[in-house]
A and B are shown apart, each in its own frame.
Chain A
Amino acid sequence: MEATVFIEDSLRKILASVSDPEIPVLSIMDMGVVREAKLENGIAKIKITPTYSGCPAMDVIGDDIKSALKNEGFDSKIELVLSPAWTTDWITEKGRKDLEAYGIAAPLDADSDKAALLGNKRVVKCTNCGSQNTKMVSQFGSTACKALFQCEDCLEPFDYFKCLK
């Protein structure tokens, strides 16, 4: 399913400086939403894909990419692509670490995720104390991509980034 993503070297750093407006610690490159970045006749052509269809961050991300590239002297064209559909597997290792450090539990594999969201198993680790003694409070959290959890040891409420495959 994963096709190799072509990113022009001269654009990589600029794109990595753009972050998700809702999760500011997470670069859009680490989130896996940039699907292609190439230069054609001096114009940067960027393909991005939404995490969720209704993700209100997409328009902002598009604008942020445009202005980041403009600052470095590139005109750009942003295209929204839907296929192949984004999956949480595209979040990089660094992205997962950044999420955890920010207090959002990174997505588990599909089976553990289902068990956690149906309340069958306690597998999501608290981002505050590391305990697995956590329970789901709500399948939908502050945004569509997250569920709300609470740690029963340290009582900290935290977001869990749901697995999307």
Chain B
Amino acid sequence: MKENLIKYILGIADNSLILGQRLSELCGHGPSLETDIALTNISLDLLGQTRSYFQYAAKLKGENTTEDDLAFLRKERQYLNALLVEQPNGDFAHTIVRQFLFDGFHLLFLEQLRTCADTQLAAIAEKSIKEVKYHFRFSSEWVKRLGDGTEESHEKMQVAINDLWIFTNELFLMTDAETAMHREGIGVDLESLRADYQEQISEIVEEATLQIPETKYWQKGGKQGIHSEQMGYILADMQYMQRAYPNMQW
């Protein structure tokens, strides 16, 4: 039970951690000052949520584990985030579509997690929902503005959706730890979110005059620790300081 709970928490945390890390790459590099600030604020929210999860997981793990150990000292295959969040920022269309596809899932996920039997997870979810609502609003607005914008922005957005849509199915595939936690009344039933997700995403995509592509093949693996080639670069960046100067602190 404890083992599965820790794994479950890490899975949730890693999605926020890796997406937060990705967005932080844009700090000072956003396409305009306002979007730069928005994306790094979203990054900050996600990293804050990650800290709450890691602090909880570290406490459960015991043996003097700290949140930093969990963030910086695991190996690639021990990270359990979905492949979607590790995809590169690409152009602004890719950054926004990735955000939009994740935010839609994140919000539905947290709404269910808020009612779970684990009071600490429920509390983190309750807190996070308020922030993620803003994230989803922000990304949805941009999807609409760019999708229904100029010919060029429309085309770039459609390419981004075509590229990233294949990563969405994985969000709803239950791992062993997720299934076990669902049985305990803690984990979210991911399958049950699928229909709402489809509906909400389709509605906005349609309003943006874009299309969800037909897909026969879906990418998966991140949640089992089998990542895309992107992950190594992220971890190299993220872990460098802790590896070079063990136990360093800010």
> B130-153 CB contact bits vs A (8 Å, 1 = yes)?
110010011001000000000000
Measured CB to CB, the closest approach of chain A to B16, in angstroms, equals 9
Q: Is B27 an interface residue (CB 8 A)?
A: no
Closest Cβ of chain A: how far from B249's Cβ, in Å? 12
A85, A87, A117, A138: which contacts B34 (Cβ < 8 A)?
A138
Question: A140 with B41: in contact, given A85-B126, A85-B130 (CB under 8 Å)?
Answer: yes
- Find out whether the CB atom of B51 lies under 8 angstroms from the CB atom of A142: no
Q: Which of B42-50, B59-67, B76-84, B93-101 contacts A (4 or more CB under 8 A)?
A: B42-50
Q: Could you say which of B37, B52, B122 contacts A53, with CB atoms under 8 Å apart?
A: B52
Known: A53-B128, A137-B34, A165-B130. A82 touches B52 (CB 8 A): yes
Interface residues on A, range: 20 to 34
Residue from B44, B119, B137, B141 in contact with A144 in the complex, judged by beta carbons closer than 8 Å: B44
B38 touching A83 by the CB < 8 A rule? Answer: no
Please measure, in the bound complex, the distance between the C-alpha atom of A153 and the C-alpha atom of B128, giving whole angstroms.
36
B212 at the interface (CB under 8 A from A): no
CB of A21 within 8 Å of the partner chain: no
Q: A139, B38: Cβ atoms under 8 Å?
A: yes
Contact indicator A53/B123 (Cβ below 8 Å):
no
Total number of residue pairs linking A and B with CB closer than 8 Å: 76
Determine whether the beta carbon of A53 is less than 8 Å from that of B51: yes
Q: How many residues of B contact A (CB 8 A)?
A: 29
B 11-46 binary contact with A (CB < 8 Å = 1; else 0)? 000000000000000000000011101100110111
Q: Is the CB of A140 within 8 A of B127?
A: no
State whether B49 touches A141 (Cβ < 8 A). no
Which of A82, A118, A137, A148 is close to B127, meaning CB atoms less than 8 Å apart?
Answer: A82
Min Cβ gap B206→A in Å is: 19
Interface of B toward A, CB cutoff 8 Å: 33-35, 37-38, 41-42, 44-49, 51-52, 119-120, 122-124, 126-128, 130-131, 134, 137-138, 141
Query: Could you jot down 5 A-B contacts, CB within 8 Å?
Result: A53-B124, A54-B49, A82-B52, A82-B123, A141-B37
Enumerate the 7 nearest inter-chain pairs by beta-carbon distance, A residue then B residue, closest first. A54-B48, A53-B48, A83-B123, A138-B34, A54-B44, A140-B38, A82-B123
A interface with B by C-beta (< 8 Å): 50, 52-56, 81-87, 117-118, 137-144, 148, 162, 164-165
With A82-B120, A83-B123, A139-B38 already in contact, 6 other A-B pairs whose C-beta atoms are closer than 8 Å: A50-B48, A54-B45, A55-B48, A83-B122, A85-B127, A118-B137
